[in-house]
Structure 1
């Protein structure tokens, strides 16, 4: 049995990428594009994206070609509660200006442009990674009427830890981004600071607990402190299942 490679001739009629499958083929679009209704052509994706996956790639519109003029695109990234969103730039080329007044990418520490800003970026130098204090990050890319560049490609991922505000309504906190699907990773070292309004106390209740068991919890463990850091009174060190 030999499977015909439909992609070998004229790229299968696909505008971007052709992927051969058993007995058939499918067309696939580059990042920033979605497949047209005709299943062969590609069209520019919507410029407002909500992302809930623990990791992935974000690109400027029309990547890897030059981004269009007069464009405003936003990305709202949400991670598992108890995790922080991290943004790492792989490629970066946006119109240069000392104050990034023209084309630029803004990154915010929260769910919207009203959140504290982590950076306003432009130029050709790859920026340092940006990490949110919580499980949400908001990006906004703006281009003006003149001068287009290649744009950017970035990887979004998660890091454990961060600052969480306790409220009257219970909130969830997960040990790792893929809780429920995979075990926690090796060599993890996560710090969470749980804070409450003045005059209130923080209550922590474990709904699920399964950590490597050892008599003195000398291997994997969870430690709780009654204060802002590890110098505060220790409430306990826990491991095992329960």
Structure 2
């Protein structure tokens, strides 16, 4: 009796183990995944993944939902810049934005797509080291709450956001984070950077942070592009939405940043100053021209008035060096490196470290005439895109090292 019972027990255990092995999912190299949830894993997981492979998974969830991807296990060859074996996650399929690149054993929080598609790519080189990855995907509502790798919707009256890994270590390479801050109607948003350290480049071509007015990125709504180790000055939205995007490339990284935000009444002041957030358009003896016209440019190129009178009638006043000038039919798109900014209004300023620049449209290419490399006082108005606009009636004058003129600008009171 005992012998029979023992044999039956052994048989049951064997069948149970064999059945579990039979039911264990077999993970292949890539595939098209659909539905509201599922699992993907590296080829042969949990066995060691093969060398010299590239596997692509394309995940599609129902329309109206977005994809949430959570790594349950991550074990790839470790490297600070993930140059050898890695997993890339993209916000969509073809030519889409990379959400992050991952290797080693540190699992990120959930990655969220902006639409109903996500692409996961795993690459291994000739040398392998690890069991690969296992991740679960699920269809969730856009802007769903919950811990995520980076980015997300921020709609509380105040809060903070920061780069991944802050403050323990440098932000990772190959990552894109997007924060959308939404204030109640008739309120604006103030951003204040406590710490800021992003790979330095004169034109912020590599790692950078960009701030936009509104709900999505566009050149017309861009407030500024930032990098280097100098925190940007406080930033104020024009309306109740701000969109912030941080991008790192696949080379150098740095500490990153932490930023605090808060909602303010629309007519509140900037840092206690009585100057309104959006400066009112001044009245002028001449009609303010913000677009080219043939009749405007036929007028005699003659400036009248004084520094003081033009100062009070202008939206923006700056001194700076002309670094580039591009012809645009009858006008010129000029870029000035800013030395001093006396009136800003709604002028769009780009900052790279401690250097600031802005774009100014000179409506009539022959009036005023400007040359690259020279220093200028520039006064003018601002169009809806945040570009400075200079017409024949605007005050633009070249100078070398006239400290007296700088002193006059600093002491003007309107």
> Given the two structures, how large is their TM-score scaled by the length of structure 1?
0.52
1:133 to partner: Cα distance: 0.4
1:48 to partner: Cα distance: 3.0
Mapped to 1, the partners of 2:84 and 2:49 lie a distance apart of: 13
Mapped to 1, the partners of 2:30 and 2:128 lie a distance apart of: 23
| 2:55 alignment partner in structure 1 | 73
Q: Is the 8 A contact 2:48 2:128 kept in 1?
A: no
Mapped to 1, the partners of 2:135 and 2:41 lie a distance apart of: 6
Indicate which of 25, 34, 50 corresponds to 1:30. Answer: 25
Aligned positions, number:
143
Q: Is the 8 A contact 2:50 2:128 kept in 1?
A: no
| 1:134 alignment partner in structure 2 | 115
| 1:158 alignment partner in structure 2 | 139
| 2:96 alignment partner in structure 1 | 115
Mapped to 1, the partners of 2:72 and 2:33 lie a distance apart of: 19
Q: Is the 8 A contact 1:104 1:141 kept in 2?
A: yes
1:27 to partner: Cα distance: 4.0
> Given the two structures, how large is their TM-score scaled by the length of structure 2?
0.31
Mapped to 1, the partners of 2:112 and 2:13 lie a distance apart of: 45
Verify: 1:96 aligned to 2:78, yes or no.
yes
Alignment of 1:1-242 (within 5 A): 8=12, 11=15, 17-18=18-19, 27-32=22-27, 45=28, 47-112=29-94, 114-161=95-142
Mapped to 2, the partners of 1:85 and 1:103 lie a distance apart of: 24
1:111 to partner: Cα distance: 1.8
Q: Is the 8 A contact 1:49 1:74 kept in 2?
A: yes
Instruction: Provide closer, same or farther for how the CA distance between residues 17 and 49 of structure 1 changes in structure 2, counting only shifts above 3 A.
Output: farther
> What do residues 60-112 of structure 1 show as CA deviations (whole Å, max 9, x unaligned)?
11111111111111110001111000001111111111111100000000023
Which protein is bigger by CA-based radius of gyration? 2
> What do residues 12-33 of structure 1 show as CA deviations (whole Å, max 9, x unaligned)?
9xxx8526xxxxxx9434331x
Mapped to 2, the partners of 1:228 and 1:133 lie a distance apart of: 21
| 1:236 alignment partner in structure 2 | none
Q: Is the 8 A contact 1:83 1:160 kept in 2?
A: yes
Mapped to 1, the partners of 2:97 and 2:114 lie a distance apart of: 10
Gap regions ≥5 residues in structure 1: 20-25, 33-44, 163-190, 196-226, 230-242
Instruction: Provide closer, same or farther for how the CA distance between residues 106 and 93 of structure 1 changes in structure 2, counting only shifts above 3 A.
Output: same
SS of 1:18's partner is: helix
Mapped to 1, the partners of 2:89 and 2:35 lie a distance apart of: 18
Mapped to 1, the partners of 2:48 and 2:58 lie a distance apart of: 23
After superposition, the CA RMSD in angstroms is: 3.2
Mapped to 1, the partners of 2:87 and 2:240 lie a distance apart of: 34
Gap regions ≥5 residues in structure 2: 1-7, 144-181, 183-214, 217-238, 242-414
Mapped to 1, the partners of 2:13 and 2:69 lie a distance apart of: 39
Mapped to 1, the partners of 2:43 and 2:18 lie a distance apart of: 17
